[in-house]
Amino acid sequence: MRAAVVKKIGGPEAVEVVEVPLPEPGPFEVRVKVAAAALNPADAAVWGGFFGPLDEVEYIGLGLDAAGTIDAVGAGVLLEVGTPVIVFHAPVLRPTKAQAEYLVTELNSLAPAPEGMDLTLAATIPLNATTAVQALEHLPLRPRDTLLITGAAGAVGGYALELARTRGLRIVAQGRPEDEEFLRGLGARWFVSRDEELSAAVRRLVPEGVDGVLDAAALGAPALAAVRDGGIFVSVRVDVLPAPERGVVVRHTSAGPDATRLSYVSALAEAGVLTPRVGPVFPLSQATEAHTRLAAGGLRGRIVLVP
């Protein structure tokens, strides 16, 4: 089968599509025939060397998110071949991952795909929606509390905004000026442009400071300054966590596979509560070009590879 892999550390040009052995599912594993796989910043961290050199392996695969159909099952698996699923395949240093024609993954890493949804859309859900759910679980806010979401038009931020709206939170969304109408449509009560000084702009709207921040844009200290004394701050990146101050609780969230959460976000997407967004779609054979586009940034919607 074909798979997108990295054999050396570098830029997106390090991504190659190679022929690799078809993987076989072991006990409590399934093999998924991939219909679509989304690209995420975590992929750039692989080819950029964040997880270290590749001295001891021939190559490692790319891709955490996929949607497809069950193709084969291992011992102990009761799921039926042909079932549409979404997959959050989190282990990093594996020879092949989601950006391939087939993927072997554990039962805890998959859930039924949203019924009636195109699998290209469904592939953008697992990592980002699960991260948004877990981040909000770290924010014990009550209805009518105020929440600032930085990078609200991004994949995690957009899902978090929609989820926060269902909890009755009053949301300050930060994004590019051209994102304002979109973010208000998702449920933001207030909008702050990323071109403004964040804390001052937020405190003009909420003078006492917001009750909580979900720092999806990984801004760190400038976002912390917008929180009221004794509030709570949650970041999706541990490397930019600010030091706690003024009694503000500072937390990091890092999502992992969880079949229960995956089923939950799939059901929300099926019900129209979550809005998956697809950017450019590339064939698997153009994985290098797709990763080059990922590195360029500026998209609203995930890049997707289709085998």
Instruction: Measure the N-to-C terminal CA separation of the chain; round to a whole number of Å.
Output: 10
Residue 134 lies in a domain: no
Beta partners for 19?
A: 2
Q: Same domain for 199 and 148?
A: yes
Residue 21 lies in a domain: yes
* pLDDT value of position 300: 84
Q: Same domain for 189 and 237?
A: yes
Beta partners for 117?
A: none
Q: Same domain for 146 and 246?
A: yes
Gap between the Cα atoms of 179 and 78, Å rounded: 44
Q: Same domain for 298 and 205?
A: no
Could you list the residue range(s) of the whole structural domain that residue 121 is in? 2-126+257-306
pLDDT band with cut points at 50, 70 and 90 for residue 195: very high
* pLDDT value of position 49: 72
Last residue of a domain, one of 252, 272, 289: 252
Return the closest-CA partner of residue 282 out of 255, 252, 303. Answer: 303
Q: What is the pLDDT of residues 236-292, one digit of tens each?
A: 988 888 989 999 999 998 888 789 999 999 999 999 999 999 999 999 999 999 999
Residue 197 lies in a domain: yes
CATH number at residue 143: 3.40.50.720
Q: Are 40 and 113 in contact (CB under 8 A)?
A: no
Tally the domains of the chain.
2
pLDDT band with cut points at 50, 70 and 90 for residue 53: low
Q: Same domain for 22 and 117?
A: yes
Phi and psi, residue 272, nearest 5°: 85, 10
* pLDDT value of position 47: 81
CATH number at residue 59: 3.90.180.10
Residue 80 lies in a domain: yes
* pLDDT value of position 55: 66
Q: What is the pLDDT of residues 122-174, one digit of tens each?
A: 999 999 999 999 999 999 999 999 999 999 999 999 999 999 999 999 999 99
Q: Same domain for 148 and 244?
A: yes
Residue 133 lies in a domain: no
Nearest 5°: CA angle at 140, between 193 and 147?
15
Task: Please give the average per-residue pLDDT across 55-66, as a whole number.
Answer: 86
Q: Same domain for 114 and 175?
A: no
Q: What is the pLDDT of residues 108-134, one digit of tens each?
A: 999 999 999 999 999 999 999 999 999
Q: Look at 47-61, 78-92, 222-236, 239-253 and tell me which has the smallest mean pLDDT.
A: 47-61
Tokens 């021939």, residue? 58
Q: Same domain for 13 and 51?
A: yes
Q: Same domain for 34 and 101?
A: yes
Gap between the Cα atoms of 58 and 38, Å rounded: 24
C-alpha pair distances (Å), 153 with each of 37, 44, 277, 302: 21, 20, 10, 12
Q: Same domain for 240 and 160?
A: yes
pLDDT band with cut points at 50, 70 and 90 for residue 85: very high
Q: Are 5 and 62 in contact (CB under 8 A)?
A: yes
Collect all residues with Cβ–Cβ distance below 8 Å to 193 and sequence separation of at least 6.
174, 175, 176, 177, 180, 201
Q: Same domain for 189 and 166?
A: yes
Beta partners for 281?
A: 304
